[in-house]
Amino acid sequence: MYSKDEASQLKQAFWTTFGQYIAPQLSADGLKINWVNYKTGIKYLYFRMQAEKRSASIAIEIAHQDAGIQELFFEQFKELKNILRSCLQEDWQWQLHGTGDSGKIISRIFRQIDGVSIFNKNDWPALISFFKPRIIALDEFWGDAKYAFDSFK
């Protein structure tokens, strides 16, 4: 069991390691990018990577406080589902109006793996192998799809 400080340091070490590993990868537009803190350019719309004690997930997260606007975002993603699926090369789970970590209502399109821990350095290669191709695929998707969300800016 780790203290809160030790857990925080391990998480920071993982994300630093991941960031260094993926840093040479350019975006779909050929630009240097901060992969760990990916910027969509749309308020309340995030690409989130999370790793915890027993699982890891990557998600498109819609966090607008207005449930109706969240649903509009979600419907727009549904319109682009085939393009998203083509970029990801796998199916993801779709969740309209779930509860986020902070207790707020969010909507997510996500993929999760279980049986891995950010606190086990032996699992880090599996975590990196999970996150890297998916965040790159999301970037590829976003390069084409972001224009469909201009009205949300």
pLDDT tens for each residue of 2-32: 888 999 999 999 999 999 999 999 999 999 9
pTM of the complete model beyond 0.75: yes
Name residue 117's amino acid.
S
Rounded to the nearest integer, the mean pLDDT of the chain is 95
Q: Is the pLDDT of residue 131 over 80?
A: yes
Residue 97 zone, left/alpha/beta (φ > 0; ψ -120 to 50; rest): left
The arithmetic mean of pLDDT across residues 78-85, rounded, is 97
In the chain, what are the domain boundaries?
Answer: 4-152
CA angle 101, 54, 94 (to 5 degrees): 50
Helix axes 67-79, 81-88, angle to 10 degrees: 70
